[in-house]
């Protein structure tokens, strides 16, 4: 007798359901896509306990007749395909005919539906192994499906679900994507009888971006209108400027023919368009909508229908890259005029200023001169002997001594102090430039110019200024010596490229990464205060408001106690809006707290099977990393000495919490060997 036998229907249904229905999110996705296919303009989703106790999806779509109700729950029953050829011309999101049968196999389900214009509708109740019951009742046009007790008959699957807040967040994230991708449909989400979001009266993508990401994002939106980049191939995009980014790809949204898609190839194409505009580890926020011929795509790869294959992807890739780059370039031309103040780049003209003398004439014992400050383009200062024009601002210089005033004096007289940035003045001082312009009264003698520099290589002032900017060496190094653990008699030299602290002792040169240094200090400080429960919070003068997506909100709710233990005080402030009122002592108050919180939540979302202990450790790690001083940040002498003195008090002064080194030592012996000076002897 053979050992192979046919499985019974219930066992086969449970196995098949395992591929289609992985968690409550899968149920919501299948039901919402059915509602979209039915032409709905209103889709309301209600969940309880993260979708385990209840998932209800109500729409005003086309509805179903009585005969279709029972047929809809048969496996491989669908209204969207008739034969294999229809797979090459799909216009619907669903087509496999597996979703309702799979949901019914792992839950208790009721569905009520009525055709528009009908005086009544029908209701069907299903439980695995029982006979379907169909009843007639009064109903309006559309469909209402209620899924209860998900995985009640598969305890192992229910056991591996995460916390209800996390499952709710996944559902909220999916519906947010569909709400952004289908602005013609009103989406409403209710969780545990509380309205999470409702897109009523929001009929444009821009309005919905503002609703989900915050009103301050509106000036950051760059719209690429629907364009036909190839015959019967269309592209539409909503990009956020490079000033807005995330630390993962969660906010890179892609739709192909109205379907939410996950595609690494599309991610790479979008990020290539932002190339050089975003830092390492940062990702754009964007919505990309593609319309492609049905015979060029294959959705029938996985039952979840999230993956897709595009037959000829190269033209699609190049179109995305080209239009993203062009849109960002066009927006960059005038962006500073429209950006909110906090997003405007704080640029500084690093070119040293000098005096340009124009239109000099002589009047008896004094001379009237007109001067203007502008960036130096060359190392020469030109003089013109043309008559003074009335339109040129002139200044009378009393007791003119034939020597043109030095640059600092001209700045003081002719420019407002706010225009002379401290950085520019310090660069000019480091260059130690003096300019003398001997002016003789004789018209026959041509004006001359002389540069006096202390450089042995006769560098130009601009070259000297650039060098001074890269290495900020202390003019008078502090006499106080300090130690870090077993490294003694250290003295501070200065800062290299605004990223590294330089120190020395008789043994050699020490290069210290300022970010990893500060990160280690903050990490041990936060960890100690949490363990000893001596948290100190610093109140903000002005609270910071943060708008969260549903998934971010669920993550925040999940870890709100741990955040409070670290010193964050965060309060609810309306629908998916929160106020940061206080931060842990030690974090700089002028840092971007909104970006800090969003990055923290994104990192926590990515964690698998997180426990309270792991959650707290991750929060400490991430808060220390995000709160530490970054590379390319100027530090004062006091800042550097404070950091180094505090590093001596930590337990591990060698690496940051992520394992990156803090110190790098170049010994005197190594330096002697490099410069071929023989052996080093103290």
- Helix axis angle, 407-414 relative to 422-431, nearest 10°? 160
Q: Decide: residue 288, CB within 10 A, 0-12 exposed, 13-18 middle, 19+ buried.
A: buried
Q: Where are any strands of DSSP class E within 497-625?
A: 500-505, 508-513, 537-547, 569-572, 577-584
pLDDT tens for residues 655-669?
A: 888 888 898 999 999
Q: Decide: residue 127, CB within 10 A, 0-12 exposed, 13-18 middle, 19+ buried.
A: middle
pLDDT tens for residues 358-414?
A: 333 333 333 333 333 333 333 333 333 334 333 333 333 333 333 333 334 433 443
Does residue 286 contact residue 251 with C-beta atoms inside 8 Å? yes
- Residue bearing tokens 């120190």: 503
**What pLDDT score was predicted for residue 616?**
73
pLDDT tens for residues 273-297?
A: 998 888 778 899 999 999 998 888 8
Does residue 627 contact residue 586 with C-beta atoms inside 8 Å? yes
Ordered domains of the chain (ranges, CATH): 9-198 (3.30.565.10), 205-343 (3.30.230.10), 369-468 (no CATH), 474-682 (3.30.1540.20)
Instruction: Work out the widest C-alpha separation in the chain, in whole angstroms.
Output: 127
**What pLDDT score was predicted for residue 676?**
86
Percentage with pLDDT > 90 across the chain = 29
Query: Cα(619)–Cα(556) distance, rounded to whole angstroms?
Result: 12
- Helix axis angle, 461-470 relative to 422-431, nearest 10°? 110
**What pLDDT score was predicted for residue 140?**
85
**What pLDDT score was predicted for residue 407?**
38
**What pLDDT score was predicted for residue 347?**
46
Backbone angles phi, psi at 165, to 5 degrees: -65, -40
- Residue bearing tokens 């004094």: 366
Ranges of residues in the chain with a pLDDT under 50 are 337-338, 347-468
**What pLDDT score was predicted for residue 178?**
95
Sign of CA dihedral 231, 232, 233, 234: positive
Question: In 32-43, which positions are buried (b, 16+ CB within 10 angstroms) versus exposed (e)?
Answer: bbbbbbbebebb
**What pLDDT score was predicted for residue 502?**
93
Q: For residue 595, what is the enclosing H or E element? A: helix 593-605
CA atoms within 13 A on the CB side of 569: 12
Q: Which two tokens stand for residue 668?
A: 């005197």
**What pLDDT score was predicted for residue 16?**
59
- Residue bearing tokens 């060997």: 673
Does residue 610 contact residue 618 with C-beta atoms inside 8 Å? yes
Percent helix, percent strand, percent coil in the chain, to nearest 5 = 35, 25, 40
């Amino acid at each position: 007798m053979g050992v192979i036998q046919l499985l019974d229907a219930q066992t086969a249904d449970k196995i098949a359901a395992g591929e289609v229905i992985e968690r409550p999110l899968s149920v919501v996705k299948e039901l919402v896509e059915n509602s979209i296919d039915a032409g709905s303009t209103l889709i309301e989703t209600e969940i309880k306990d993260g979708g385990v106790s209840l998932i209800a999806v109500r729409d005003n779509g086309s509805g179903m007749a009585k005969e279709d109700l029972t047929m809809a729950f048969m496996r491989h029953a669908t209204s969207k395909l008739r034969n294999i050829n229809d797979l090459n011309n799909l216009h619907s999101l669903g087509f496999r005919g597996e979703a309702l049968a799979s949901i019914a196999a792992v839950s208790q389900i009721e569905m009520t539906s009525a055709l528009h214009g009908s005086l009544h509708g029908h209701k069907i109740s299903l439980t695995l192994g029982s006979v379907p019951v169909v009843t007639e009742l009064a109903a309006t046009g559309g469909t209402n499906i209620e899924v209860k007790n998900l995985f009640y008959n598969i305890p192992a699957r229910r056991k591996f679900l995460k916390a209800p807040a996390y499952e709710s967040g996944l559902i909220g994230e999916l519906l947010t994507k569909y709400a952004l991708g289908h602005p013609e449909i009103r989406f409403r989400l209710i969780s545990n009888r509380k309205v999470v979001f409702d897109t009523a009266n929001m009929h444009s993508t821009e309005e919905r971006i503002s609703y989900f990401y915050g009103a301050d994002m509106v000036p950051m939106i760059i719209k690429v209108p629907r364009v036909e980049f190839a015959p019967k191939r269309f592209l539409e995009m909503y990009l956020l400027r490079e000033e807005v980014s995330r630390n993962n790809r969660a906010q890179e949204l892609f739709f192909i023919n109205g379907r939410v898609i996950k595609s690494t190839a599309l991610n790479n194409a979008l990020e290539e368009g932002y190339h050089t505009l975003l830092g390492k580890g940062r990702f754009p926020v964007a919505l990309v909508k593609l319309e492609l011929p049905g015979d060029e795509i294959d959705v029938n790869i996985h039952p979840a229908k999230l993956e897709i294959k595009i037959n000829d992807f190269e033209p699609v890739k190049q179109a995305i890259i080209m239009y993203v780059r062009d849109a960002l370039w066009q927006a960059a031309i005038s962006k500073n005029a429209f950006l909110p103040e906090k997003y405007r780049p704080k640029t500084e003209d690093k070119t040293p200023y000098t005096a340009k003398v124009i239109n000099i004439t002589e009047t008896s014992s004094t001379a009237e001169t007109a001067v203007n400050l502008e960036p130096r383009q060359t190392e020469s200062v030109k003089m013109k002997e043309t008559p003074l024009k009335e339109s040129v601002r002139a200044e009378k210089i009393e007791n003119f001594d034939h020597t043109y005033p030095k640059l600092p004096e001209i700045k003081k007289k002719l420019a407002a102090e706010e225009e002379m940035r401290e950085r520019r003045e310090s660069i000019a001082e480091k260059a130690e430039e003096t300019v003398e312009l001997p002016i003789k009264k004789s018209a026959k003698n041509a004006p001359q110019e002389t540069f006096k520099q202390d450089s042995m290589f006769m560098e130009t002032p601009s070259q000297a200024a650039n060098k001074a900017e890269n290495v900020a060496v202390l003019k008078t190094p502090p006499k106080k010596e300090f130690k870090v653990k077993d490294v003694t008699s250290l003295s501070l030299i200065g800062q290299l490229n605004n990223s590294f602290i330089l120190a020395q002792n008789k043994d050699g040169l020490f290069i210290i990464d300022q970010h990893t240094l500060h990160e280690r200090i903050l990490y041990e400080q936060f960890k100690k205060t949490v363990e000893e429960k001596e948290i100190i919070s610093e109140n903000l003068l002005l609270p910071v408001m943060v708008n969260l997506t549903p998934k971010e909100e669920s993550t925040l709710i999940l870890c709100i106690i741990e955040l409070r233990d670290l010193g964050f005080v965060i309060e609810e402030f309306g629908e998916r809006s929160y106020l940061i009122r206080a931060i842990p002592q030690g974090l700089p108050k002028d840092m971007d707290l909104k970006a800090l919180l969003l990055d923290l939540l994104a990192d926590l979302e990515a964690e698998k099977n997180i426990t309270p202990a792991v959650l707290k450790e991750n929060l400490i790690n991430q808060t220390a990393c995000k709160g530490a001083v970054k590379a390319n940040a100027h530090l004062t002498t006091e800042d550097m000495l404070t950091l180094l003195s505090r590093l001596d008090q930590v337990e591990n002064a060698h690496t940051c919490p992520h394992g990156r080194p803090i110190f790098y030592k170049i010994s005197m012996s190594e330096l002697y060997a490099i410069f071929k000076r023989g052996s080093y002897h103290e």
